[in-house]
Structure 1
């Protein structure tokens, strides 16, 4: 059966602005780090794959001296401590319900599960944070049927394809029989480089990014009784009538007998 693989942040829920950003800022404040990212500043940091990597990006020579980070060992230990606390804060925000699931997530997961599809999440975020978002978005029962690939399980994070290549290997699914839902240019490049057809559901931080190579670009997956989704790019002409359905995804699979989508090219945008 086909596999449906989701990114987490910005796909399952609008986590970046309402979860990760305040969690980073609260962590910096608790540790006495003189950094507080604005929404505009964080929009640039989002382009860096991985929370620890985003934290490390603040370490100018002056800040390193101010924080008395004498060597690589002390810097690494400090980043790990920051990130552990940030994950705790973030999980609390998820569990408080401040980040509802994006439209259509619970519906399409239920449709895919009922049809026997393999379900997975592939994310550069820490695994505890990913599992918290997943459970909040689809419920404990459906979440229990997901394989989760997250955090530091691969050496290179998105836009490198490593996390998706690992997911395909562990799931035992060929790339032509899997489809990804992403929200960012980095995520799209990672999925396409792994040979995967990719649907992009844009988020507030990513709407203006380059999504060349996506099989479909929409404002959200949507729900039939909700606001109709906006189709931003439909290069294969599958058509979306109000909401993206499992039939839409099936049509985008390269192995689909009814699909119009060829296998995505991996010859561009080398990570």
Structure 2
């Protein structure tokens, strides 16, 4: 199957990741990470933060603890939080094609959900500030499940809340963890990578990979009838 082949079934719902897919948050977070690390004189490279993409806060904290003593972890996270709070409250940019795709799905009567590893309060804050919240029928976050991505729990719960069959859902994701979560849920992922390009192992999963939500729309629209 070509990775650019249009979706071959009529979807009953489209599920969206949030950070890095709809909201341009990963670059802002990376900049905050660098600033907080520099302030504490910690030698941490970008590759460490990029390994966090798509994972829950708990997983990221555990990975940090493998590299740093607890006191430094707490200081780093506190500095990161202050900086990122200010970025979020100022408003983060929206990815090209988001509102156009949401409008198309609304017009065709296709339910829409957000499935994000981000904690619920932060997810709702971001979605509201971005003007995205009213466009979704349900929001499932890392706060709502025991196991976050790459486990399928977030997407399975979203399908359950929408009352749709998982195997007829399309998932839009930027991260490898999110793609694995969608596949584990029996769903059809379309990956729109952000800061982390899919490696050979991820590409071997055989899912569709495109460079923007505009191209993702081109794969979805023909299946809507």
Alignment-derived partner of residue 15 in structure 1? 25
- Partners of 1:101 and 1:55 lie apart in 2 by 27
Q: Which of these two proteins has the greater Rg computed from alpha carbons?
A: 1
1:203 aligns with 2:209: no
Partner of 1:131: 124
**Ranges in structure 2 where 5+ consecutive residues have no aligned partner:** 1-10
Question: Which blocks of at least 5 consecutive residues in structure 1 are unaligned?
Answer: 69-74, 223-242, 259-271
Match of 1:90 in 2: 84
Cα distance, 1:202 vs. partner? 1.2
For this pair of structures, how many residues does the alignment match?
A: 213
Q: Matched residues in 1 for 2:100 and 2:67: separation?
A: 48
User: Which moved further from structure 2: 191-200 or 107-116?
Assistant: 107-116
**Residue aligning to 2:169:** 178
- Indicate whether 1:43 and 2:34 are aligned: no
Q: Does the residue aligned with 2:197 lie in a helix, a strand or coil?
A: coil
Partners of 2:152 and 2:22 in 1: how far apart?
Answer: 20
Once residues 151 and 36 of structure 1 are traced to their aligned partners in structure 2, the CA distance between those partners, rounded to angstroms, is: 29
2:26–2:195 Cα contact (<8 Å) kept: no
Which among 199, 208, 216 is matched to residue 208 of structure 2? Answer: 216
**Structure with greater contact order relative to length (CA < 8 Å, sep ≥ 6):** 2
Give, in angstroms, the shift of residue 136 of structure 1. 4.3
* Deviation (angstroms), 1:14: 2.8
State the SS of the aligned residue for 1:5. Answer: strand
8 A contact 2:190–2:216 mirrored in 1: no
1:155-170 aligned within 5 A: 155-170=146-161
CA shift, 1:27, in A, is 6.3
Distance 1:194 1:62 in 2: 34
Counterpart pick for 1:104 among 97, 110, 114: 97
Name the TM-score, length of structure 2 as normaliser.
0.77
1:88-141 CA deviation, whole Å, 9 max, x = no partner? 6434313323x421111111011112222211110111223322333344x2xx
